[in-house]
Structure 1
C-alpha cells in the first residue's frame, strides 16, 4: 500500500470517528434547544422570549420615527411631537383604494376597540393620494367608518414629503403605479411606535425583528398553515406591553 492510499484511509477514519462521536451530540443539542449564546447557530433570544417588544436597530442606533408635520381631517397641523407620550400605529393608505386599504382599516378599527377610552393610544394614517384626499375627504372617510379615537389622525399634505416619510423615513413602500388597482402601490404594513418615538416590534420565530406588522391580510382568511397571516393579535398584544 503506497503512502497516498494510506493518507486517504487515515483521513476517512478521522471523518468516520468524528461523525460517530460528535454528530449525535450536535443533533441532540439542536433537538433539545440546548444552544448557548456564543454558538453561531443561536438565532433565538438568549431568554427564549420572542414576544418581547424590542427596538429596531439601524446603523448602530435605535430607529426613531421620522419627523413629520401634516394637516389632519380637521385642518389641524399634526406632527410626530404630538404623539410623544403615546403608543401609536402608523399606516399608509388612500381613501379610494379598492384592494387592501379596506382590510387594513378594518383591522385598525378592531385595534381601536381594544383601547377604547385610552388617551395614551393613537393611530396616524398617512394618505398616499393627497391630491384627492383633502382634509374634507378624510373627515368624511373617518366619520363614515365609525372611527371614534380622538388620537386617530388622517394626515394629508405635500405628496413628495409624504412619500419621503414612507419610503425613506419608515422604509414602508408607497408610490404611484397605474398597473395596480387604484393607481397606487403600497405594502399594507403597520409600524408600532412607543411613547418616546422609537419604532418597536416583536421578534419572529428565528429571533429576528419582524420590524412591521402585516395589516393588509384578513385574519378570517389567513388561517391555512403556510400562508401569510395577519399580525393584528400580535400588534394588540405588543401595544398592551408598551402601555404598561
Structure 2
C-alpha cells in the first residue's frame, strides 16, 4: 500500500499550527514509545505535517523532547501554585485542605492524562534527561504538597512513614489506567462511566485519611 503523502503548505484553520501539532504528537509518542522508540518521521506523521518542520521549529529530537517537558511543566504551574497555597493556609483544617489537594491532582489527571504516561515511560532515564524530568515535572509538585502531607501526619489524619511515599501512592491512585471508567461501567454501573471520576476521588479520600482518634495498629 502506498503511503499518503504528508500535505505541504498552509494547514486548514480547524487544525492546530505546525509547532503545536508536533508538540502534541511528540508528547504522545514519547509517552508511548520512550525517547529511543519515538522517531521524528513518526511524530511528523502523527502531527500531519512535513517532517522538515521538526528541524524548523525544534532543531533536533533532543530539543523536541525538552520542549515537551517544558509544555508539561507549564501545565503544572497553576495546580502547583494552588497546592503550595494550601500548604501555607494553616488557618484552615488540614483535612479540608488535603481533600482540596486531592481534587486538584484528580482534575489534572483528567485534563492531562499524558502527564503521568510521559513520566512513567521516561522514569528510567538517566543522565541529563533524567535530571530534567526530575527537576521540572516531579519535584515542583512534590515540594508544593510535601508540607501539607507533613501537617496531616502531625495531625494524625495521614498515616505515612515518609511524605514522599504517601505522595507517590496518592498520585498513582488518582491516575488509574486508561479505560477504567468503561471497565467500571461493566462491573458496577453506578460508579462507572461519567460517575467514575467523582467516585474515585471519594474512595481515595476514604483510603488516604485516617481517624486520628482510632487506635493505631
TM-score band by shorter chain is under 0.3
Using the size of structure 2 for normalisation, the TM-score is 0.25
- More relative contact order in 1 or in 2 (CA 8 Å, sep 6+)? 1
Greater share of residues in helix: 2
Greater share of residues in strand: 1
Using the size of structure 1 for normalisation, the TM-score is 0.23
